[in-house]
Structure 1
């Protein structure tokens, strides 16, 4: 290239060509191209940490979403209703909805919504106590009803039947949670709480 410059121009221009590095120019173009793609992604609401992360995208085969509400709605829904010996799904859901009806947290709303959908009549409560971090205890028709977490049942010395234990482990493996329901000192069932997938998730991920 220097020889061409020397033939067609003066020695000073030839020296300029000699000292220039065309590789540097190419190397400069690469970061500019990466920066342009980072800006385009940010414009669509996708924030990529750096160029290395962008260059590694062709090898990605798994995406992990770690923020609650990214793929799911704020309000969960009732899934399976697991029953113990001697009880029905209707009884388990009715007890839970009756005890939870004055509460406003998402799980209580999910249980009440399910009961309303099935048009289940709720029972009058004589008295109730909310146990922060555990659940609710209520007196219904002279029976003590407990609705809450596994920890709540353990604290109250309520045994977990093996059949419900197996269903509980299966539910946890699927990423769901369970609300336990006990009558007096016997666990009568559990209500599975599932996250509700947003309707546009497939389209969003595909895009």
Structure 2
């Protein structure tokens, strides 16, 4: 991704997290402590507050700095996980890797930091299918807009499917079987963000 595209994606993530603060919090309150939406919004608000002071001339540096801000400002378990994801993506970018490799690096960072795997009812259950579908579409020669649309649809399906899972990580894990029947807040947040990026890609990434 170019630095302009990366800026657009990060800013869209931030704005979507802030706009959906109540929705994400309500999802989390079903079996969690309900602070996910609030924490995510406060962290990304801090990022946007300092936006003009961020060095955005280098993609890797920008993503790593974003991760540092997120990790230090988002409370609970979400801060370290989302912060690590951005920092790992930034490190991959600094090595010249493409967007799929950056997402894979973010996934591995989340797995290591959260001791989680696909199937544990976390954001990984949407992020991994999203990345796999994006990679497949790009490999098949699909334009970026089309590939992201397909990946966003896959993320939504995967997030919705978490309702049938039992949480194995985070506060929700303490509720055991009671966590079955509700979607995971982190996976759903990822799906909402992916959909927003897809909806606004044409005007955002090319402006």
TM-score, normalised via structure 2 length: 0.31
Q: Greater share of helix residues, 1 or 2?
A: 2
Per the normalisation by structure 1, the TM-score is: 0.31
Larger relative strand fraction? 1
